[in-house]
Amino acid sequence: MTLNNKVIWITGASSGIGKSLAIELSNYPCQLILSARRKEVLEEVKKQYKHPENVAVLPFDLADYKAMPQIANEAVKCFGVVDMLINNGGISQRSPIIETAIEVDKKLIDIDYLGTVALTKAILPHFVSNQSGCFVVVSSLMGKFSSPLRSAYCAAKHALHGFFDALRLEHHKDNIKVTLICPGFVNTNVARNALTADGSQQIIQDKMTENGLNPDIFVKKMIKAIKKEKFEAYIGKFEAFGVYVQRLSPRLIHWLVLRSKVK
């Protein structure tokens, strides 16, 4: 797959992986639609793009999934077409199950799963009409195996795999591609922004995230996987091997995660 002359829509584009991805894509002759909640931050990202005239800013909140049909229509109007939707927006969690308010579980599902699904369903008819399109979904290694203190996050990411695997099957006939990107630890603000048991932000960085891949390195690997039209790509350091260990022995990955003392 080529990214040249494509219109690529990125959610969660104001920071972290989404921001690095937007800047890296400035090396390609493509047009971007950048989305997140804060318009002013997206405008700053746009200024870092080599050709800002090829960038549109479309702010919205993933939690407001009932608004997605209107948002999708606005996205198409930006450049007349959308060729690829990169579902990158979302939040994480750091709290024990026994202490976590059910409202926190709901918020993770609303944003990380339902928001992404609603946006996907909203742009899907456009892809079907064009008999072409690509969904890229930034899931997580936690969408393949689980880890302590991330129960709602793991649940939402696991759900994304179920949904998008089904979408890939249903719309193979429409030439619609799906690539699920599963990051391990990436050095972004995901841990600082993670929700705790009462719904407040964690604020502090954790060591595993801090020692993770540089987001600029990560997005180069991500783009390579997209171009190869991979069904799934596992991108990280040592932790990426957990996917293969899980396939071999669920009991072994259980033991290894316990020993890793992930926080």
Nearby residues of 73 by Cβ (< 8 Å), 6 or more positions away: none
- The string of pLDDT tens digits covering residues 136-189 is 999 999 999 999 999 999 999 999 999 999 999 999 999 999 999 999 999 999
Q: How confident is the model at residue 208 (pLDDT cuts 50, 70, 90)?
A: confident
Residue 187 to residue 17: CA distance in whole angstroms: 9
- The string of pLDDT tens digits covering residues 61-76 is 999 989 999 999 999 9
Q: What is the CATH number of domain 7-260?
A: 3.40.50.720
pTM, full prediction: 0.95
Please pick, among 28, 49, 113, 153, the residue that the annotation labels catalytic: 153
Query: Which run of H or E residues covers position 56?
Result: strand 55-57
153 among known catalytic residues: yes
Neighbour-count burial for 14-30, b at 16+ CB within 10 Å, e otherwise: bbbbbbbbbbbbbebeb
